[in-house]
Structure 1
Amino acid sequence: MQNPDAGRYAVASFSGGSFWDLEAAFRRVEGVVSTGAGYSGGTTESPSYSEVSEGGSGHAETVVVGFDPAVVSYRDLLEVFFSAHDPTGWEYEEIAPGGQYRPVIWFHSPEQKEEAEAFCAEMDSSGIYDPPVVTAVEPAGDFWPAEEQHQHYYERLASYFAVRQWQG
């Protein structure tokens, strides 16, 4: 049996600061059908959170977003991303290549690359950001899912405290 939704959804990937924060921002967007926290852009296969945090793997904390382009556009996702991270990189501990919090838009198609580059240029020339936008636009490569405790982190945390409060 064929999946009737095959080809209906698109994928976008973003890095910039903590993947917990980015994932929470995207999960609130109508038309986003899935999110996953993980790691992209490094050299270590199947890295752990501690390996990425220690800095030797070269990975950035990344969120992969599945979305319905009939409901939410890629540009809408770019706008959410820019509202949820620091595109100038000044607030991150490390924005150098290999830094786990570096801001990156990982494109999955030539169209996404073109739109992301145009959006970054538009934001940079808008005068909204000072210092300039340093968010990179790079091809999506391997994505390694983060450990289960990092998926939907804030929802899990809220559930934990709700149970704790109920238990007294």
Structure 2
Amino acid sequence: MKVLNLQCQHGHGFEGWFSSEDDFQHQLSTGFLACPMCGDAQVAKLPSAPRLNLGASQPGHESRAHAPDSPGVAAGPTGQCAVPADNAASLVPQAVQAAWLHVVRRVMASTEDVGQRFAEEARKMHYGECEARGIRGHATPQQTEELLDEGIAVMPLPVPDGFKDTLQ
């Protein structure tokens, strides 16, 4: 099994697992391989060092990445993404991507997909015709503007393709 560090032309980094180099090349050439963040099929292999497992670490020597005072993104006690304001500007792209994926996962888990009925359902909730709940779906730019004009708070949320379907 080959584990490769990959990156799309937009700078999104991700990992790919392949049975061989030929499998990677085949998936790349047929367009089957795409960025899970944006769907871009122009993917490049990044240089990486092999991982050598030479034994367990010695007790008391935790990795810096897992130390409680290490910079980056952490989940707070309620599960929100906790990034100190003074640290937000210094986040590396991988930390920003991880934070974004965390937010998308939470939204997907806590909302109902109403699809093309989004504008209709949002209006029903706003005017008290049905119980308020978290929803997500599709609205045209015109529908979005109309909802905002009516005082209905909506926000576009681009969802990576990998979150739209159940993974096997």
User: What TM-score, normalized by structure 2, do the two folds share?
Assistant: 0.22
Q: Name the larger-Rg structure.
A: 2
Larger relative contact order (Cα-Cα within 8 Å, sequence gap ≥ 6): 1
User: What TM-score, normalized by structure 1, do the two folds share?
Assistant: 0.22
In proportion to residue count, which structure has more strand?
A: 1
